[in-house]
Each structure stands twice: as C-alpha cells, then as structure tokens.
Amino acid sequence: MTDMLQAKDVSVRLSGRRVLQSVSLTVRAGEIVAVIGANGAGKSTFLKVIAGLLIPGEGSVSLGKQALTALEPRALGREIAYLPQDRTVNWPLSVRRLVGLGRLPHRAPVAGPSAADLDAIEKAMAAMDVLRFANRPVDELSGGERARVLLARALAQQSRFLVADEPNTGLDPAHGLTLFAQFVRMAALRCAVIVALHDLSLAARYCHRVLLLKDGSALAEGPPRFVLTPERLAEAYGVRATVAQIDGWPVVVPIEPIA
Amino acid sequence: MSEAVKSTHDRTESRTAFPVLVALAAVAGLAFLSSLLVGPSGIGLPHGSRTAELIFTEIRLPRAILGALIGGALGLAGAVLQGYLRNPLAEPGLLGISGGAALGAVIAIHSGASAAFALALPLGGLAGAAVAASAIMILAGARSGPLTLILAGVAISSLVGALTTLALNLSPNPFASVEMLFWLLGSLSDRSLVHVWLAAPLIIAGSALLLTTGRALDALTLGDEAAQNLGVNPSSLRNRIVAGTALSVGAATAVSGTIGFVGLVVPHLLRPLVGHEPRRLLPASVFGGAALVLIADVALRVFAPLSEVRLGVVTALVGAPFFLWLVIKTRRDLGP
Amino acid sequence: MATLCGLFRKLVLGFTALLAAGPNPAFSAKAEPPQRIVSLTVCTDQLVLDLVPRSRIAAVSYLATDPTLSLKVKEARGLKRVRGLAEEVLALDPDLIIAQEYSTTATVNLLRRLKYRVVLVPLATDFDGLRRGIRVIARAVGEEARGDELIAEFDERLAAAQPKGSERPTAVAYQVNSLASGPGSLVDAALQAAGFHNVARDRPLGPGGRLPLEAIVADPPDLVILANAADEFRSTVGDNLRHPAFADVIANRPHMQIAMPLWLCATPKMAEAVEELGVMRRALLKSGATHE
C-alpha cells in the first residue's frame, strides 16, 4: 500500500566522503516526522534520498511495495513533493504561475490546466496565506513571503508525502505556527510530512517522531520525548540544553555549547 | 474563493499571453510578405514574364522561407538555452554547434569541394554540426548537468573557432579567403529552393524537439532538484536540447553562415511580455526570431542594395545597441 | 602542412567531381554565339571586352570601372554594371554568364539550377593558365578566332621582350601586407619571362605568400617592384611599405612601380608588364648594379 515510505539502511558517498551511513526510517500516512541534527549531519542528503532525488549507494527506499527507482519522475512527483532548502527562483514568475508549477506532475502533456489543477492551486495559495499576492511577480515579495509561496507550490502537488528541507526558515513566528498547523491538517487527511528542522521546540510540539542524525548516522529515532533529551542533544549538537514544559507544550532551550 | 473569480484570474493571464503571440506572428507574417516584395529588380511582386516568375519562386521565395525558418530556429534555441541555463545571456552558439557548422562549411570552401559540387557547402556545414554535437555529448558525459554541458560547449567552440581561423590562414588563394570570410558573416542572398529542401526538414524536426522542453524549463525555475521532483528527467532534457539545437541551429548555420545575436536578443526582449515564463517564451521567440531576421534582410536590401553588407553584420548592429540599452536600463533600475 | 592541404584538396576535388552532375556547359554546341553576355568578375570583364563587341555584352561587374583594378575603365563605361546577385542577372535575360572560380558560389549554383549557362574560368597561375583562360572564354562566346588572335599577339610581345643575355638580376614584387608573389603566380611568370630571378623562389614563403621585411632589408634584391604606392593604403596593411628600413632600401636602390591592374588579372596586357620589366633589366645591366 502506498501508505508507507520506507528508507532501509541507506548509505551515501559524495565526493568520496561518507555522508550517510545505514540510516533507516519508516514514515506512515498520518505522521509528521522531523529529521534533526547538527549542520552537516546529513539531513538534506537524507531528505533527497527519501524523496527519490538521490539514489543511495547502498540500501533502498520504497513506497509501499515499490522501489522508488522503479517509478518514473512524474509518477514520483505525484506521490512525493519535495521542497529544497535553496529558495532561489530563477525567473520572476507571478505567484500563481509559480504555485501552478506544482501541478506539472499531474498535467497531461499538451493540455492546459484542468479544473482540478486550478482548484489545487487556489487551495494551496489560501493555505499558505499568499492569495493576496497571486498576480504579483515573486521577486517583489519578502523572503518570508517567498518561502510561503514555495511551500504553496509543494502543497499544490497534493501528494501523499511531503518532504521539506527547513521549510520554516525565514518565516515569522505566526507563519511558522500556521505552517505546522497546515502539516497537522495534512496528517489528519492521511498525508505524511517529513521535515528537516532546527527549531527543536517545533519538532517537540508537532512531530509524532523524530530522527536524530549525527555525522551521517542515526543516533536515535522515536517519539520526541525519547529523542529530545539533554543527553542526546549534548551528544548530537555538543550543546547543553534544557527541556521544559510551558503551558503544557514541550520547549527545548539551548543553554551553552559544551567545551 | 468563488469559481467565477478564480477562473477569471487564470483567464486574465492567458488572455495577456495569446495577444502577444498573435501580435508577434502578425509581425513575422508582415516581414515575410515584405521580404517577397524587395529585391534588386524592384520593389513589388515580380509578375508578367517567365523571368519574373522565376525571380519570385526561385529567388525571393526561398530567401523569405529561409529567413523565417532560420530566424525562428535561432530565436527558439536561444530561448531554450537561456531557460536551461537559467541565464538570460546564454545563446545558441554556446554549445559550439554553430561553430562546428561554420568549420565544416569553411573546410568545404578551402578544399575546393564547394566549387566542384553545388551542395558541398551546406552538407559540409551539416557534417560539421553533427561532429560538434557528438563531441559535446561525449565530452560532457552521460550524467552532465547544465554547467558541464556549457563547459564542454565552450571547449568545442574554442577548438572549432581556432580551426576555422587556421583554415582561413592557410587559405589556398585570396579569393578563397574572401569567400570564407564573407560566408562566415552570414547571408541569405542567392539561396535556392535546394537549400530550403535541405534545411527545412532538419530545422522543423529540431525545433519540434526543442518545443517539447517547455514544461521542463518551467520546472527548472525552481532549481534542478525541485525540477526533478516535478517530473523532469535531466538526461532526457539535456539530450533533447543538444539534439534539437544540433538539428535546427546546425542546419540553419550550414545554409546561411553565422547569424549572431538573434538567439540572444529575441528571448531577452520578449521575456517580460510573457511573464518571464520559459515555456511561453518558446513560441514567442520563434515568431520574434523570424521577424528579426526577415526585417534585417529586408532592411539590407532596401537601404544597401548594391553593397556587400552581410546579414550577420546587420543583426550584430542590432545587438550592440541592444546591449547598450540593457546597461543603461540596468543602471537605472538599480538606482543612483 | 601545405602539401598535406594540397593533397587533401586534390582528394576532395576528385571525389566531388565524381558526384558533380550535369553536362559541362562550356562544351555545348550553340548555333548562334551568345548575344547577351554577363560577366561577373573584374578579370573576366576585361577579357570579354577584348573578345566581343559591346553590343553583345548585357552587363559587366561593378568593378569594371574601378581604375585601381581594371584596365578597361573607358571601354566599360556606359555598360550596365551588376553587383552579382542572381536577381539582377536574371532581369537582364542573359544567354551566357561568365565568372571566375572561387567567386560568388551561391549565385553561380543558383543560376545553374535555373538552367542558365554559366562558364567558370579557372584561376591562372602561370602564362599557360592565362592562355587557357582566354581560350575558355573565347569558345564560350563563340569568338575562338579572336581568342587565338589575342593569344598570338601576347606571345609575339613576349617573344619581343625576350631577355638578351643569360644574366638574371634578382627582383622581388612586394605588395601591402608583405605579400610577395612566389612561384605559381602570374607575377612570378612575368618576372621569369622578363629575365629576372624572383627572390621569392629562394625562400619558403609563409602562408599567403608573406616575405618578412627583414629578408629584403638584409639582402636587398637588384630590383624592388611595388604593386601599390606607399601611401595608397592608409591601414596597417601598408605599414611594410612605409617602414623606414624599407624606405631606405627603396631610396638608394633601383625600384619601380607597376600598376596593380596590370597584373591582377590574367589578361594579354600582362605582356606590357613584361616589357616594362625588360626595359628595367636592360637599364640595370647597363649600369652594372647587379648581384652577379
């Protein structure tokens, strides 16, 4: 069943360097999973592998029973949406057109956008609160607004799985929260979200499970309260941190680097 | 949001696209007609005698058809390359294919083959284009992305450019040098229907290939990875671009010599008119390129009928002020 | 390298000759000689003007009235001049078109495709080539007798200008861009016929026939012949002729200028160049200012 995206013992070498070593992760529909770790721990690479953009040297990724490598690019794009960390937009398209790019995996070769396409685009723009910019060229927007537009593109793909690399960077606190509120809605609709994050409090609050990477290997994986402990954080980040509860929500506060 | 409002939005966008395309097609059509009306024997449609018919069908018509095909091919290839490289300063010559075609033609002149055998010149050009295209594919390798492709293209360009200069240098006699030089400057004069039959199928096939890249180029707006996620197959895209350019630009150069600036200027100018969307720029650039080459060819026949001003020179004269204007505009946009 | 290129060219020419289709127009027998002849290059212009009356010439090239290139400026005046585009030529309804090898290939091909009779005259590299060129045109225009006359006159003048004595003073024919005509050129043939030794034969000339200035200054030949006046070209191509070292050579030694049109084209007028050279040779030998 395509309710499950599974990475098994994935290893990747880039330019001779081992970037990922035997990392496994299973994500089921309805889950929000965070991938965390220090800079250079291999988060972005792992996300690319699980989105099917990078073929691992060892190990495999499968969607249900099918290996990702067996899917042709458009079919893959309909199942998994990928949002890169790089926010570059090469041409100043209008917001609507940019979000519309998310429908490319669905569109028939020579046809114009269908009613379903137009509907998906509108919904995605509404969800990310960028409807009011719909006809403006994207280069006129601020960094945070542009980030939301790019997210809307991924949402417009209406895929079951969303893989996002640090999607909340540059978003103001309100929009960061609405972003995760959107993820929660998607999870409720039997979608799954895999995000790389630096904001550990957000991970603690919203994610069902957390994968903690250190130097390319999985240090821990499980529910936030098991992974986000001061000991684990010290080992992974080299930082002394406090995990507290405020208003019932878990909060992770880094205190100081460990010498 | 209500159905009415949202479909109006999308229709508004396509409503601005369609008229632009129609307008460009109209300009190109007018330019084509003007091209049929202009020539040394007088302005107006030649009619009346058998000679006049001959002039129309065998001299003016092929010239106009070639002008449209070549201009369209160059404009399209320029738009595709600018979209692929995400760089508004890219142009078809970057892949080294037009350089290869030029070298092939120059060798045909140098060796005397073009004097002995009428089709030797364009066939030499086609052979040169094919060799350059294979060379760039081999050099760039199976997994190459845009950057590697361009590096390979620049390497090939430099090599064929050097070899062309060598052929000029070692020319067997001054007349051959002049012929080579003049051919390199680009011209449509005295091309026949034979050139049309030779070049048209290749240009059309190549252009068709290039037109299929529109969606992939749109997806590339977001970068290589997001594009892949949206369904772009990078090697299929690259192969289509190299093959399409080799067929269309290779055939165009083989028949008319090097006509520069069209592939650079046309997409650049038309981009704002199509909302900067790479896919919509493609058909616009076909019409725009055809219009530019046809107008330049008409201009040189009207204003300098008896001099040897070559078409490639006229398009270069258009290109230079364009860049001046671009610099001035950029400085103004960036503020004092 | 040059011989490799030459070999390659011969191979390609041979191969393409196999592929070239169509009868050779020069040999088609025509009942009436052509009445509307169009010549497309300045060299063929002059030969056509020599061979046929003006009434049979529909047009000559636009360079026919350029005095720096043509010897038949007066004769060409009043005739229609063409740039060489097919459309122009067609409008004249010609029955014969004469052009030179290596010129306006696209136009020639187009005209042939439209079934017009085009005769291409090969480039002459020596006096035999010059005679052959005259014969080709003469046959095409149907004036073979007149052509033979021209050749006979030419040969007579050459015989009269035959050098007396076996001395061969050295000479070089120097042009802009340091071009010196070496073996395989009409200039060289003229120098030989006039009894000079062309120093360009002694040296391996670079591509395009360049002779470095130093060679001339170091070992000046007995006679330096200029095809262009020193101030005729104001660009860098004329620098060699304006160079002080060269001026020095010229100032103190015998030199002469022979007008470019006299030896640009392979016409019978080349005999005049040979005659002028012969006069100079006699003067040199008399004054004893020679190498030997």
Q: Say if C79 falls within a structural domain.
A: yes
Name the 3-class secondary structure at B94. Answer: helix
Whether residue C11 has pLDDT greater than 90: no
Q: B181: closest CA among B294, B93, B312?
A: B312
Q: What is the dihedral of CA B298, B299, B300, B301, to 10 degrees?
A: 50
| CB atoms A135 and B9 under 8 Å | yes
Domain match, C150 and C168 both? no
User: Mean pLDDT over residues A237-249, rounded?
Assistant: 89
For A14-28, B10-24, C72-86, C190-204, which range has the lowest pLDDT when averaged over its residues?
Answer: B10-24
Domains of chain B: 3-333 (1.10.3470.10)
Angle between helices B61-85 and B3-37 (to 10 degrees): 140
Does residue C19 form part of some domain?
no
What mean pLDDT is reported for chain A? Answer: 93
- pLDDT (tens digit, 9 = 90+) per residue, A56-102? 999 999 999 999 999 999 999 999 999 999 999 999 999 999 999 99
Query: Looking at the domain assignment, is residue C292 inside a domain?
Result: no
Quick one: pLDDT band at residue A12, thresholds 50, 70, 90?
very high
If you average pLDDT over residues C193-210, what whole number do you get?
76
Q: What ipTM was reported for this prediction?
A: 0.92
* Residue in A135, A50, A41 with CA at minimum distance from that of residue A95: A135
Residues C38, C97, single domain; the answer is: yes
In a domain, C26, yes or no: no
Inside any domain, residue C17? no
Alpha helical stretches, state H, B141-192: 146-169, 174-184
Average pLDDT value for residue range C21-41: 67
Judged by CB atoms closer than 8 Å, whether chains meet at B222 and A97 is answered as: no
Q: For each of the domains in chain A, give its residue range(s) and CATH number, in order of start.
A: 4-90+158-257 (3.40.50.300)
Gap between the Cα atoms of A141 and B133, Å rounded:
41
User: At C207, is the pLDDT very low, low, confident or very high (cuts 50, 70, 90)?
Assistant: very low
The answer to the question of residue C27 being in a domain is no
Domain that holds residue C94: 33-157
Q: Min CA distance, A224 vs chain B (Å)? A: 29
Residue found by looking up tokens 């001026």 in the block: C247
Nearest by CB to B225, which of A53, A80, A96?
A53
Tell me: do C140 and C216 sit in the same domain: no
Q: Which CATH number do you get for residue C65?
A: 3.40.50.1980
Pairing verdict, β A161-165 and A80-83: parallel
Domain boundary among C157, C181, C198: C157
> Chains meeting A at 3+ CB pairs closer than 8 A?
B
In total, how many domains does chain C have?
2
| Per-residue model confidence (pLDDT) at position B76 | 98
Is residue B149 predicted with pLDDT exceeding 80? Answer: yes
Mean of per-residue pLDDT scores for chain C: 80
Distance of CA C265 to the CA centre of its chain: 2
Planar angle of CA B186, B188, B191, nearest 5 degrees = 130
Among C122, C157, C192, the domain boundary falls at: C157
| Domain shared by C37 and C88, yes or no | yes
Cβ–Cβ contact B47 with C under 8 A: no
Residues 6 or more apart from B29 whose CB is under 8 A from it?
A: none
Q: Is residue C23 part of a domain?
A: no
Which of C69, C110, C175, C187 best tests the B interface by mutation, with the highest count of B CBs <10 A? C110
User: Quick check: is C5 in a domain?
Assistant: no
Q: Which two tokens stand for residue A81?
A: 């949406």
A19 and A59 in contact (C-beta within 8 Å)? no
Q: Residue C140 and residue C142: Cα distance in Å, rounded?
A: 5
Contact A114, A194 (CB under 8 A): no
Binary contact (B116, C20; C-beta < 8 A):
yes
How many B/C residue pairs have CB atoms within 8 Å? 106
> Cα B218 to the chain's mean position, in Å?
21
User: What pLDDT does B6 receive?
Assistant: 47
Please give the Cα distance from B231 to C136 (Å, whole number).
67
* Tokens read off for B21: 């395309």
B-contacting chains (≥3 CB pairs under 8 Å): A, C
Partners of A20 in the beta sheet?
Answer: A12
Tell me the sheet residues that pair with A30. Answer: none
Distance CA A223, CA B181 (A): 74
Please state, in angstroms and rounded to a whole number, the distance separating the CA atoms of residues B265 and B296: 13
